[in-house]
Amino acid sequence: MGDGPLSYCADLHPAADLDDVVRHLDRYAEPIRRAVPLARLGLGLRLPPAVASGLAADRSARRRLRVELDARGLEVVTLNTGGHEPRWTDPARLRYSLDCATVLADLLPDRLAYGSLGTLPLGWRQPWSPADDAAAHAFIETLVATLRTIDTVHGRPVTLALEPAPGYVLDTVPDAVRWLAGRVDPRYVGVCVDTCALAVSFLDPGGVVSAVYRAGFTVQKIQAATALQVDDPRDPAARMVLAGLAADVPQPVRERQPNGTTRGADDLPYALAQLPGSGPWRVGRHLPLHVRPEAPLRATTGVLRATVQAVLAETGTLDFPQVELDVCPHAAGLTDAAALVAGVAADVACVAELLDELGLGTGDTAAVDESVPLAGHSLGGPMTRVGSAYVG
Check: CB of residue 143 under 8 Å from CB of residue 101.
yes
Q: pLDDT: is 228 or 381 the higher one?
A: 228
In the DSSP assignment, the letter for residue 124 is B
Say what percent of the chain tops pLDDT 70.
88
Taking the whole predicted model, whether its pTM rises above 0.75 is answered as: yes
For residues 284 and 176, give the distance between their C-alpha atoms in angstroms, rounded to a whole number: 18
The band of 249, judged by pLDDT with boundaries at 50, 70 and 90, is low
Query: What mean pLDDT is predicted for residues 44-68?
Result: 95
In this predicted structure, the answer to whether residue 227 has a pLDDT above a threshold of 50 is yes
Sign for the CA dihedral angle at 345, 349, 350, 351 comes to: positive
Phi-psi domain of 242 (left: phi exceeds 0; alpha: psi -120 through 50; beta: other): alpha
For residues 262 and 202, give the distance between their C-alpha atoms in angstroms, rounded to a whole number: 8
Q: Average pLDDT of the chain? A: 87
In this predicted structure, the answer to whether residue 274 has a pLDDT above a threshold of 50 is yes
Q: What angle do CA 214, 388, 162 make, to 5 degrees?
A: 45
pLDDT of 13 reads: 74
User: Which of 150-159, 259-268, 371-380 bottoms out in mean pLDDT, i.e. has the lowest?
Assistant: 371-380
For residues 165 and 340, give the distance between their C-alpha atoms in angstroms, rounded to a whole number: 26
Residue 69's SS3 state is helix
pLDDT of 371 reads: 34
Phi-psi domain of 363 (left: phi exceeds 0; alpha: psi -120 through 50; beta: other): left
User: Which of 53-67, 197-211, 329-343 bottoms out in mean pLDDT, i.e. has the lowest?
Assistant: 329-343
C-alpha dihedral, 344 to 345 to 346 to 347, nearest 10°: 50
Cis peptide before 37 (omega within 30 of 0): yes
User: Which of 119-123, 237-241, 331-335, 383-387 bottoms out in mean pLDDT, i.e. has the lowest?
Assistant: 383-387
For residues 225 and 341, give the distance between their C-alpha atoms in angstroms, rounded to a whole number: 17
Query: What mean pLDDT is predicted for residues 107-133?
Result: 94
In this predicted structure, the answer to whether residue 378 has a pLDDT above a threshold of 90 is no
In this predicted structure, the answer to whether residue 368 has a pLDDT above a threshold of 60 is no
Return the beta strands (E) in the chain as ranges: 6-9, 41-45, 74-80, 115-119, 158-162, 189-194, 219-224, 228-230, 253-256, 262-265, 281-283, 297-299, 322-325, 384-386, 389-391
Residue type present at position 363: G
In this predicted structure, the answer to whether residue 223 has a pLDDT above a threshold of 70 is yes
Q: pLDDT: is 243 or 151 the higher one?
A: 151
Residues facing residue 326 across a β-bridge: none
User: Which of 142-151, 152-161, 380-389 bottoms out in mean pLDDT, i.e. has the lowest?
Assistant: 380-389
pLDDT of 97 reads: 98
In this predicted structure, the answer to whether residue 236 has a pLDDT above a threshold of 70 is yes
Q: Residue 163: which of 217, 207, 102, 220 has the closest Cα?
A: 220
In the DSSP assignment, the letter for residue 294 is P
Residue 45's SS3 state is strand
Q: What angle do CA 143, 147, 150 make, to 5 degrees?
A: 140
Query: What mean pLDDT is predicted for residues 215-228?
Result: 96
Counting other chains too, the contacts that 14-19 makes at CB distance below 8 Å and 24 or more residues apart are 14/46, 14/48, 15/47, 15/48, 15/51, 16/48, 16/51, 17/50, 17/51, 17/54, 18/51, 18/54, 18/55, 18/61, 18/64, 18/65
Superfamily for 6-225+298-391?
A: Divalent-metal-dependent TIM barrel enzymes (3.20.20.150)
pLDDT of 152 reads: 97
In this predicted structure, the answer to whether residue 246 has a pLDDT above a threshold of 80 is no
For residues 99 and 374, give the distance between their C-alpha atoms in angstroms, rounded to a whole number: 31
Over the stretch 5-15, which tens digit does the pLDDT of each residue have? 689 998 777 78
Phi-psi domain of 219 (left: phi exceeds 0; alpha: psi -120 through 50; beta: other): beta
